[in-house]
Chain A
């Protein structure tokens, strides 16, 4: 029997999830809580196999509760069950140690499927989120060991123009930004690349093949 805690401040949601899990027959619900703090306390005490965790919880935000639970009960698999379909929440939840992110309103089968997946040691995302995650993965291939990859596209443009010898005013003109912003971009990129002077910058640009020596 898989032990489960439900953490959601809405009775109607808990009831829904409960009925889905009970219909399956392989789960035992050991506690139901309505706020973040109780979620942490009960999980620490009962050490369930699975915790269904809402993010918008009173007393302690779900993300913070998640972080604490990862420490006090590392073997509990946490399935975030949230209304938020915004990527930043998903990223934050996964970073904080959630095993699954299920959107509220998904098919009820997903709840059971997700539980099976995480118990098998895999991760699970609701269908729309999976698609987004794959796209993000396909786009982002930065080699973070190279500081050049940490530059934003705009900083790279500024870098190019600065290396060609343009002043902040001219760069601003070309990129249609203010001179102050151009100056800040320049200062930031210098900092990211650990460059001190204009000569350093030109040398760096030549080495990277951005300009001809």
Chain B
């Protein structure tokens, strides 16, 4: 159902429309008023979906009513009903915010019902969006640059009556204009009249724009010459209004439209700025958080490594030494026991101490090989490979070309752990008989490569597993050390892990 109001002074036309609506759209509620006053009264009561407005009414015209509705912020869509030869007026009505136009003298008028339905649907779709020409909320200073006295008078009077939200400030003399330009004024928009002082309107426009002002400018011109209008738009004027009958209504629409546009622009700019700030802060947060996480991971690895070192040291230096001492004492006891029955006990105790000592040695190596700290990376890896081959039966080809000077402790640890971890993976999954470890370097970086010709695996699936011992952990370790890791693997094609680490800049030796 559509509730429509039709303002029409011709009872014949009103009658035709009524019967027409009853026939084609029986569910409509159509009210008809004969003049502008009644129309505005009825609009004030509300509850209407659409207004059909005759362009020419006995007491006022359609443009005036549009103006009043805009001032009231009435969002009801308006379809103008025009007569023959009123095309120019119709265009102005559209510019002033009418939703559509229909010529009652053309065959198109028969489609009024469809037109109204379409307009109404479009309006409903637009929802609460107000038409661009609705009055802008609040009060606004408008500067009028005009030398004559007649124009400011008529504009001022019209605004006071129909658009009291605008306060008009008249700039009548050149000195006032210069003052306005240099000091600025709390104006929201500028109107340049047809005779602004000595200068021509376009000169004033140029003058305004050559200074700081970015206020929207509207030109009221006495001359309807297209070239001037185009020049004005090119100079950045927001609108160009010809000073003829009814131009004041148009002026109000234009002002409203310009201010709303300016407001939207301002809001957009503000939102853009806020968005940019927000983006920046989010980005900074992500970076900071990532850094924090990396720092934490790094700390965790260091703590883990330190702990392993401490445990290994404790086992080796304390427990191991105590056991050594114990064993020597037991042997002394064994000697002293001679052939007495105690001999058996001493023998057994000695054996136990020996196997304990072996155990401690093994544990020490598992935690952290002392060779790595005492003698460096290459002996540590060589030692590890020997143990690895002994335990798994997998032969490892080891090629090492390390810098002459020892690497930083952390880098040695990372490389050692990567080789260890990768080989563990080979033993567990690759079903390979052979593997290769190569450590090479150039001036800038150290390259570590562990490869096997085993059965390979699906890399994507393996990386998705985030257990710290897996490939993801390997990758993190390398990244934390500032290195880069590449993994190649495919089912049946073997696996190759290549890690590159930046080498510390060697001091001139």
Contacts and interface: CB of A to CB of B under 8 A. Distances in A.
Interface of A: 8-13, 15-17, 19-20, 23, 55-56, 61, 63, 83-89, 92, 104-105, 107-108, 152-155, 176-178, 180-181, 184-185, 187-188
Nearest to A87: B383
B325 A15 contact: yes
B453 interface: yes
B447 A184 contact: yes
A83 B324 contact: yes
Contacts of A23: 332, 335
Interface stretch (B141-149, B340-348, B433-441): B433-441
Nearest to A83: B320
A154 to B, nearest CB: 4
Given A20-B328, A88-B375, A177-B451, A104 B357 contact: yes
A85 B361 contact: yes
A89 B323 CA distance: 21
A108 B328 contact: yes
B440 A181 contact: yes
Given A19-B332, A88-B375, A176-B496, A12 B326 contact: yes
Interface residues of B, number: 51
Contact of A20 (B332, B354, B447, B486): B332
Given A13-B328, A107-B331, A178 B321 contact: no
A17 B321 CA distance: 12
Interface in B185-240: none
A188 B324 contact: no
B416 to A, nearest CB: 13
B449 interface: yes
Nearest to B498: A178
A6 to B, nearest CB: 12
A136 B382 CA distance: 13
Given A13-B325, A88-B375, 11 more contacts: A12-B321, A13-B321, A15-B325, A84-B370, A85-B361, A105-B327, A105-B353, A105-B357, A178-B486, A178-B488, A184-B442
Contacts of B354: 105
Contacts, number: 131
A185 B328 CA distance: 50
A88 B380 CA distance: 8
Contact of B371 (A17, A89, A107): A89
A104 B451 CA distance: 38
Contacts of A105: 323-324, 327, 353-354, 357-358
- Residue from B397, B440, B442, B486 having most chain A Cβ neighbours under 10 A: B440
Given A16-B328, A17-B328, A86-B383, A177 B357 contact: no
B322 A10 contact: yes
Interface string B389-416: 0000000011111000000000000000
B349 to A, nearest CB: 14
B contact face: mostly helix, strand, loop, or mixed: helix
B496 A86 contact: no
Interface string B263-295: 000000000000000000000000000000000
Contact of B496 (A13, A63, A177): A177
Interface of B: 316-317, 320-329, 331-332, 335, 353-354, 357-358, 361, 365, 369-371, 374-375, 379-380, 382-383, 386, 397-401, 436, 438, 440-442, 447, 449, 451, 453, 486, 488, 494, 496, 498, 500
A176 B494 contact: yes
Pairs of residues from A and B, 10 with the lowest C-beta to C-beta distance, nearest first: A16-B328, A12-B325, A88-B379, A184-B440, A10-B321, A154-B399, A152-B399, A104-B324, A105-B357, A108-B331
A154 B438 contact: yes
Given A16-B325, A19-B328, A154-B397, A185 B375 contact: no
A88 B371 contact: yes
Most buried by B among A10, A88, A180: A88
Contacts of B438: 154, 177, 181, 185
A30 B500 CA distance: 54
A155 B399 contact: yes
B498 A88 contact: no
B210 to A, nearest CB: 62
Nearest to A154: B399
11 contacts: A10-B317, A10-B321, A13-B324, A15-B328, A23-B335, A56-B370, A86-B383, A88-B375, A108-B331, A152-B400, A177-B449
B453 A176 contact: yes
A33 to B, nearest CB: 15
Nearest to B328: A16
A185 B399 contact: yes
B387 to A, nearest CB: 10
A83 B498 contact: no
B361 A83 contact: yes
Nearest to B360: A83
A9 B321 CA distance: 9
Contact of B498 (A8, A17, A63, A181): A181
A11 B329 CA distance: 12
Contacts of A63: 374
Contacts of A8: 321
B374 A61 contact: yes
A96 to B, nearest CB: 12
